[in-house]
Amino acid sequence: MRSASKTSKREARRWLDELGARCTNPSGGPYLVSYRESARIDKKAFVDLQKRDKALLAAVIECITDQMIAEDGISIEEWKKQGVKRRARLDNVRIELRKSGALS
């Protein structure tokens, strides 16, 4: 597989963060997104991306693969630390999306 350019990988990571913000509930906030709804949003986003931008889809898949490889063999403690950082990042993305009107 050809490596995605830095720009498209940056765009892919942003796409994944925005999807994560849409599919998860805010830290300490109300639980607005059920597991079923999260799965529906996720599936629709990937189907739409496949139709709209195959190059970005390839970069997204590469980012997911890179993350899986990076997390292989890490300890539970490190996995939890990474989860806390990811949650904070998604909370910030969620705030940005709400300010822009892209998320209610």
Stated pTM of the model: 0.88
pLDDT in tens, 35-45: 999 999 999 99
**pLDDT tens digits, residue range 13-59?**
999 999 999 999 888 878 889 999 999 999 999 999 999 999 999 99
Q: How far apart are CA 37 and CA 51, in angstroms?
A: 21
Distance CA 83, CA 77 (A): 10
How far apart are alpha carbons 82 and 90 in whole angstroms?
Answer: 12
Confidence at residue 5, expressed as pLDDT on a 0 to 100 scale: 73
Q: Average pLDDT of the chain? A: 92
Tell me the CA distances in angstroms from 82 to 10, 14, 85, one per residue in order. 19, 17, 5
pLDDT, tens only, 47-98: 999 999 999 999 999 999 999 999 999 999 999 999 999 999 999 999 999 9
2 band by pLDDT with thresholds 50, 70 and 90: low
Supply the angle between the helices 6-23 and 35-52 in degrees, to the nearest 10: 150
